Amino acid sequence: MSQYRWLLFDADGTLFDYDQAEAAALANTFREFDFQYRPEYAPVYREINGQIWRDFERGLIDQISLRTGRFVMLFKALELDADPERFSRKYLENLSMGTYLIDGAEEVLRILRSDFGLAIITNGLKDVQRPRFARSTIGEYFDVLVISEEVGAAKPDPAIFDVAFELIGQPPRKDVLMIGDSLTSDIAGGLGYGIDSCWFNPSHLEPVPDLDVQYEISDLRQLLNILYPNPLK
């Protein structure tokens, strides 16, 4: 059996297919506001949203600014006249409906649940993540759900890991593994907190030289080969 007893999972991009949920939510919200939606809007939004979240991770903006700021920037880029606050509320409601899973997620969690404590540690927004997990087929597998907006800290800040460790009973750090797709939040956060980390890298991105990642996988099923002495077939 693995040395680990607790597994901390990121949510979006690791278990949930965030890109699919984002595209569907954006298209649906545009239609509900009687705007014509064009496929080329998606990459514009994705670039803006990515920058906004990076600013949030670095502590440059708060989550209130994140919620509406990305749509202020989007409407400016697209030359559209809309209320960013109203649009944001509807978008988040639609996003919370997006329970699309990364390939292998449910299969792997079903196996792991018997042998490990499972927790979510996410920088997502509470009115997206809690409804999404409630609707999802994987919500039942998790003992703990830590959401940055609720605890006032976001990965890679050690404070969010402090909350998670309190909720899972303060296990030795050597007994905990962080699994996530973001080098800057999940992996940097886990390593900075002194816990081993597994980088989920389905796009085969280049690693960052100064991050000494213990494990790297491109398919969630490969996690089983790490956690069990004899790979499961």
- The CATH number that applies at residue 222 is 3.40.50.1000
Q: How does residue 211 score in pLDDT terms, banded at 50, 70 and 90? A: confident
Total count of domains within the chain: 2
pLDDT band at 115 (very low <50, low <70, confident <90, very high): very high
CB 185 within 8 A of CB 57: yes
52-61, 122-131, 134-143: least confident range: 52-61
Identify whether the C-beta of residue 125 lies closer than 8 Å to the C-beta of residue 150. Answer: no
Rounded to two decimals, the pTM is: 0.91
Residues 124 and 64 in one domain: no
Last residue of a domain, one of 95, 121, 143: 95
For residues 178 and 115, membership in a common domain is answered with: yes
To the query of whether residue 10 is one of the catalytic residues in this protein, the response is yes
- Which residues, in sequence order, are CB contacts of 37 under 8 Å at separation 6+? 26, 27, 30, 31
Same domain, 90 and 111: no
Q: What is the domain extent for residue 54?
A: 18-95
Express each pLDDT in 150-179 by its tens digit: 999 999 999 999 999 999 999 999 999 999
Q: Is residue 112 part of a domain?
A: yes
Residue type at 12 in one-letter notation: D
Query: Within a domain: residue 233?
Result: no
Shared-domain flag, residues 88 and 125: no
Asked if residue 86 lies in contact with residue 75, where contact means CB atoms within 8 angstroms, the answer is: no
Question: Are 117 and 192 contained in the same domain?
Answer: yes
DSSP 173: G
Q: What integer is the mean pLDDT of 5-24?
A: 96
87 and 108 fall within a common domain:
no
Residue 232 in this model has a pLDDT that exceeds 50: no
Residue 137 has pLDDT above 50, yes or no: yes
Q: Does the pLDDT at position 233 exceed 50?
A: no
pLDDT class of 1 with cuts at 50, 70, 90 = low
Are 43 and 136 members of one domain? Answer: no
Report the CATH number that the domain containing residue 83 is assigned in CATH.
1.10.150.240
Same domain, 69 and 140: no
Residue 209: what pLDDT? 82
Among residues 10, 17, 157, 181, which one is catalytic?
10
Cβ neighbours around 198 below 10 Å, total: 26
pLDDT at residue 231 above 80? no
pLDDT in tens, 39-72: 899 999 999 998 998 898 888 888 888 899 999 9
User: Is 221 found in the same domain as 116?
Assistant: yes
Are 119 and 214 part of one and the same domain? yes
Q: Is residue 1 part of a domain?
A: no
